[in-house]
Structure 1
């Protein structure tokens, strides 16, 4: 193999190893890199299993299976299920019927899934505390009055712990428009009976305009919004102050009403930003949740959730999906961080060897070209000298 061919081959190999190393580092470290985390855990491209499109995207190719009372589907991971309204006769596409909800719980119990509390989940995320195999955390967003009326009795029947995320300013607030919400008396009663309550913001569960024309709207907590009073978009400082004020209010009211500090936030619409994560840390909120599907692992403080609600929900196919969570959920390919770190180190070592071989070949090629150039110059000089001598002896 010529030196030029060898250099070309080694260059191609080096580029390939570099690309592979980048992918491995991305998969190993995405949870600790905010800018990369936003690509995979932000609000964009959210799949909503409450819509036909979302259901077909996640259920594609699945078939109902049989009960596996001793089955083990994943270890050292948690599926966080997300619900909104659970009612007897759903009218909204995002609501789940009580019949389907009860079937979900019954099937989870029959197939060796284990419900855990938010305290267990926080211990698992923050400290790596052990959780049962096939661990599941049940979460409910928005604090609808129907949660107390329709979902809570079913949870008690199956002795299933759960967490509800409250839009704090709507609780017991008759002046707040929209779907009826819980009262504080109901919240306290449920809190005494296995239901924990955390923040879904004080009053920022809304989309707000991001420009003067109102053509672009964003989730209010996720970035600067357009202020009609000021006639301009918020500065970063104004945005951060607004968000901090909202979350501080939510924390204060929750602690006042329930007697314990708030450490968890479910982002409205799953939307967040790097400044928002930093503010959460300042306020003692050490666990946050998005609406992207995936399996949660230790140290993943900004967690995934799988939407288990909606009129299009199929309890049998959802169970099949949960059994295949490692293979099928959206971020399963990011789940092997330790292995990916080792593979990245081996790839870097291979790159170093290839780079050394490339450098050696390039140096040899440079020397060869330089030698040929020197010889050519000498031969040219000799030929020139010979010509001059011949000219000199001509009569």
Structure 2
């Protein structure tokens, strides 16, 4: 075969085209491989980042949960560190009515005087008992602090909400308000919303003072039972808690009263005999001490510390 310059040039050109094509193919494959590698690397980095974020999120959730649990943890025994007894001691159960700057009679306690009395209890290391704690001591042989007191309010006046509750909250004290269920929403008394707010606070618990503040001893046993049950059911429907304790209006009661209170589902009934409560008291005749706005601090302290036992 005879080659000329023209043929030789064509062969060279064709060879160069083949080489160029090969280079292009190799380059494309390399870019593709690098792209896949980059994609895999990116996916791996993304996965690591996501895993890290997930780990951080889980860690944060755990830390928040632990912090919440720590914040929500309350002392299960609020008597911790106090000297306790289940012996034959007496407990003063104080009876107030209203706390109000309008001092129209001895039942309306001046807020300044009330705070002074509560501050005395606080400063002298008294523990203000709940109704259940008092019941546990009187009837179940449970221990309470040696210096215990019970604070009660009769009727459900608005001053208990407006003036007494802020003072009790400030000093971290507890009281019981015996509410006349039929007086709810009347001008001088708390309304249902305020009653619920008081019940939901640590300052107050709500218990019964009958439906209409009747003179119980003048009623038949059936009528006494009716007013006690009516009040219990009404108050329970509002606050969503059991009503298990009752204070008799005017402190008056008779044998039928005590039977009716038991049959209505109450655990204790409170009178107003001017004596200390103790374990010898009948469940439905627990003594209380009336506190007058006319008392000096010395008189208040004397009643708190030296009131007699019921001679029964």
Is TM > 0.5 for Structure 1 vs Structure 2?
yes
Deviation, 1:75, is: 6.8
Deviation, 1:71, is: 11
Q: Choose which of 137, 160, 164 in structure 2 pairs with 1:147.
A: 160
Structure 2 contact 236–242 (Cα < 8 Å) conserved: yes
- Aligned equivalent of 2:287: 304
After TM superposition, the structure 1 = structure 2 runs for residues 38-49 of structure 1, keeping only pairs within 5 Å, are none
Larger RCO (CA under 8 A, 6+ residues apart): 1
Counterpart secondary structure, 1:222: helix
Q: Choose which of 304, 307, 312 in structure 2 pairs with 1:322.
A: 304
Deviation, 1:121, is: 1.0
RMSD: 2.2
Deviation, 1:95, is: 1.2
Q: Choose which of 183, 190, 203 in structure 2 pairs with 1:182.
A: 190
Distance 2:311 2:154 in 1: 27
- Aligned equivalent of 1:125: 138
Deviation, 1:318, is: 1.2
Q: Choose which of 228, 231, 234 in structure 2 pairs with 1:247.
A: 228
TM-score (norm 2): 0.68
Q: Pick which of 129-138 and 111-120 moved more.
A: 111-120
Distance 2:127 2:268 in 1: 21
Q: Choose which of 273, 288, 293 in structure 1 pairs with 2:269.
A: 288
Distance 2:104 2:140 in 1: 42
Moved over 4 A (4+): none
Structure 1 contact 75–134 (Cα < 8 Å) conserved: no
Deviation, 1:332, is: 5.8
After TM superposition, the structure 1 = structure 2 runs for residues 21-40 of structure 1, keeping only pairs within 5 Å, are none
Deviation, 1:125, is: 2.0
Q: Choose which of 91, 96, 99 in structure 1 pairs with 2:112.
A: 99
Deviation, 1:115, is: 1.2
TM-score (norm 1): 0.54
Deviation, 1:299, is: 5.3
Deviations 1:39-60 (A, max 9, x none): xxxxxxxxxxxxxxxxxxxxxx
- Tell me which structure has the larger Cα radius of gyration: 2
Distance 2:123 2:255 in 1: 41
Distance 1:164 1:118 in 2: 11
Confirm or deny that 1:192 pairs with 2:174: no
Deviation, 1:331, is: 2.8
Structure 1 contact 263–287 (Cα < 8 Å) conserved: yes
Structure 2 contact 277–309 (Cα < 8 Å) conserved: no
Distance 2:225 2:303 in 1: 37
Distance 1:88 1:315 in 2: 18
Structure 1 contact 126–299 (Cα < 8 Å) conserved: no
Structure 2 contact 181–231 (Cα < 8 Å) conserved: yes
Deviation, 1:282, is: 1.1
Deviation, 1:333, is: 5.3
Confirm or deny that 1:222 pairs with 2:217: yes
Structure 1, unaligned stretches of length 5 or more? 1-69, 207-218, 225-238, 335-395
Counterpart secondary structure, 1:82: strand
Q: Choose which of 125, 140, 151 in structure 2 pairs with 1:112.
A: 125
Deviation, 1:248, is: 1.2
Structure 1 contact 165–198 (Cα < 8 Å) conserved: yes
Structure 2 contact 83–145 (Cα < 8 Å) conserved: no
Change (3 A) 1:75 1:154: farther
- Aligned equivalent of 1:279: 260
Change (3 A) 1:333 1:246: closer
After TM superposition, the structure 1 = structure 2 runs for residues 68-107 of structure 1, keeping only pairs within 5 Å, are 76-107=89-120
Deviations 1:33-88 (A, max 9, x none): xxxxxxxxxxxxxxxxxxxxxxxxxxxxxxxxxxxxx999x973311000011112
Counterpart secondary structure, 1:291: coil
Distance 2:268 2:209 in 1: 12
Distance 1:223 1:107 in 2: 39
